[in-house]
Amino acid sequence: MRGYQCSTCGEFHSGLPFSYGSPAPAPYFDIPEAERDDRVLLSSDQCVIDDKHFFVLGRLEIPVLDADEDLFSWNVWVSLSEKNFNRASELWETEGRESEPPYFGWLSTSLPCYDVDTFLLKTNVHTRPVGERPFIELEPTEHPLAIEQRNGITLKQVQEIAECALHG
């Protein structure tokens, strides 16, 4: 198992995560806990708030340039239009659904460890085969996260993310 010497606390941490996730889209956490049962439908892959905000969970994948393990992944929520959300739900178990054209999605997770907020970045949501979460492709802007997705990151950056996730 991979581990690393932490430059933040000086300890050795065993394991180096290659993916992180959030249990719900950011707006969910703004809803008072007492109201969530009435206002929110939440599963491991979909979320609907107030019958008018529609979210799916996807994988914002980033190539890791100097590791055998292919990809780093932020598992993030994106909001879809009601039409596209319904379409995605309809096709949930349909073989060949990956031929679907991409849907527009607003990134609805605020990732830690970035100086510039990632909330509401524009994305394309690419449907994948049944059983796989969609691939989230960021609009190719100069946002640090978009640059990382275009250019890839190194193991050192994966470690920096781990330290940030662990120590804030």
Contact residues toward Zn ion (CB under 5 A) are 6, 8-9
Instruction: To the nearest 10°, report the CA torsion of 126, 79, 20, 136.
Output: 20
Nearer to Zn ion, 9 or 120 (CB): 9
With left for phi above 0 and alpha for psi between -120 and 50, is residue 7 left, alpha or beta? alpha
For the CB of residue 161, give the shortest distance to Zn ion in the complex, in Å.
Answer: 13
Nearer to Zn ion, 83 or 156 (CB): 156
For the CB of residue 59, give the shortest distance to Zn ion in the complex, in Å.
Answer: 26
Contact 123, 143 (CB under 8 A): no
For the CB of residue 12, give the shortest distance to Zn ion in the complex, in Å.
Answer: 9
> Which two tokens mark 152?
């890839």
Residue 106 φ then ψ, to 5°? -90, 125
Nearer to Zn ion, 131 or 168 (CB): 168
Which of the 8 DSSP states describes residue 152?
-
For the CB of residue 166, give the shortest distance to Zn ion in the complex, in Å.
Answer: 6
CA dist., res. 79 & res. 109, Å (int): 10
For the CB of residue 9, give the shortest distance to Zn ion in the complex, in Å.
Answer: 3
CA dist., res. 31 & res. 94, Å (int): 33
Nearer to Zn ion, 9 or 41 (CB): 9
Which residue in the shown chain puts its C-beta closest to Zn ion?
A: 6
> Which two tokens mark 134?
């969609």
E strand or H helix that includes residue 105: strand 103-107
Nearer to Zn ion, 7 or 81 (CB): 7
